Amino acid sequence: MQRDPFLGFERRTVCGSDSSGLALSSVTERVNSLVPKMAPFLESARKRGIQIIHAPSETMAFYRDAPQRKRMLALASIDPPPPLNLFDPPLPIDDQRGGCDTPDQFHKAWTREHPGLRIDASDVISDNGAEIYSFLRERGIRTLLVMGVHTNMCVLNRPFAIKRMTALGIRCILVRDLTDAMYNPEDPPHVSHDEGTRLVIEYIEKFWCPTTTSGELLRAFAH
C-alpha cells in the first residue's frame, strides 16, 4: 500500500476530472458533496503556485472560447515516449453494468465542469491526453495530483489520467478524499458504496500510484 507523505515541492500540478457524472440522483448528490471540499483545496493549491488543469471529459465544446482552453490548443505538441508495459489487473469491484445504484436511466447529462469549481485565469482546460502530456513537459512538471470522479473510471482510465500518465513516466498521486467510485453494492463484492470506493483506492495504491489526502497537502502548503 502506497501512502504519500508529500515529498516537498517540485513543480507539480493538480488535474481534476469532474463533469458531474451521469444524470443519476446518487451520483449528483455525491459529486455535490465533494465540490465544497475540492474548491478551497484548489484555491490553496493556486496560492502555493501549483498549476491547475481542469479535465471535464467530453465538454470541450463548452470551453471553446475560454482562454484557458485556447492556451492548451496553442501548445506545440511533444511526442511522448513509448508507454511502459505495466501490469493492469482487474478492479476489485464489478462495474460492468455502469455502477449505478439507483433506478435512473443512463444518459449523457454533462456539458461542463461543476460550476462550484472556479476556473482561474492561470488554470488550463483539456481532456486530451496528448495536450496534457505536452503541457506537463513544456512546464517541466513531473508530478500530477489527481482528484475527481469517478475513481474506477475517468480517474484511472481517461487518456490524461492515472494509467496513461503513469505509463508515460509522469508520477501520479491520487488525492483519495477528493474522489468517489461509480459502484453499485448489488454487484460483486457486494459491499457498501463507500467500501467499494475504498477498495478501488487500495487497488490504485497497490498497482498504480501512491495516494494522499487534501488535509495532508494543505498542511504541506502551509509550510
Q: What is the Cα–Cα distance from 119 to 62, expressed in whole angstroms?
A: 13
Q: Could you tell me which residue, 220 or 72, shows the higher pLDDT?
A: 72
Q: Is residue 153 part of a domain?
A: yes
How much is the pTM? 0.90
Q: Is the separation of the CB atoms in 164 and 31 below 8 Å?
A: no
Q: Is residue 151 part of a domain?
A: yes
Q: What is the Cα–Cα distance from 136 to 12, expressed in whole angstroms?
A: 9
Give me the number of domains the chain comprises.
1
DSSP letter string over 167-189?
A: HTT-EEEEEEEEEE----TTSTT
Q: Could you tell me which residue, 223 or 175, shows the higher pLDDT?
A: 175
pLDDT, position 223: 78
- The rounded percent of the chain whose pLDDT value lies above 90 is 75
- Cell readout for 102 is 439507483
Q: What is the CATH number of the domain that holds 27?
A: 3.40.50.850
Residues with Cβ within 8 Å of residue 179, at least 6 apart in sequence: 34, 146, 147, 148, 149, 150, 151, 155, 197, 201
pLDDT, position 147: 94
pLDDT, position 6: 42
Q: Is residue 97 part of a domain?
A: no
Structural domain harbouring 155: 14-74+117-221
Span 116-127, average pLDDT: 96
pLDDT, position 8: 39
Predicted confidence (pLDDT) per residue in 177-201, tens digit:
999 999 999 999 999 999 999 999 9
Q: Is residue 197 part of a domain?
A: yes
Confidence label for 9 from pLDDT (cuts 50, 70 and 90): very low
CA-nearest of 220, 209, 205 to 7 is: 220
Q: Is residue 215 part of a domain?
A: yes
Q: Is residue 98 part of a domain?
A: no
CA-nearest of 185, 113, 186, 192 to 154 is: 113
Confidence label for 21 from pLDDT (cuts 50, 70 and 90): very low
Q: Is residue 90 part of a domain?
A: no
Q: Is residue 58 part of a domain?
A: yes
Predicted confidence (pLDDT) per residue in 63-121, tens digit:
999 999 999 999 999 999 999 999 999 999 999 887 777 666 555 667 899 999 999 99
pLDDT, position 97: 85
Q: Which residue pairs, CB below 8 angstroms and at least 24 apart, start in 133-137?
A: 133/78, 133/80, 133/160, 133/165, 133/168, 133/170, 134/75, 134/76, 134/77, 134/78, 135/53, 135/72, 135/75, 136/13, 136/170, 137/78
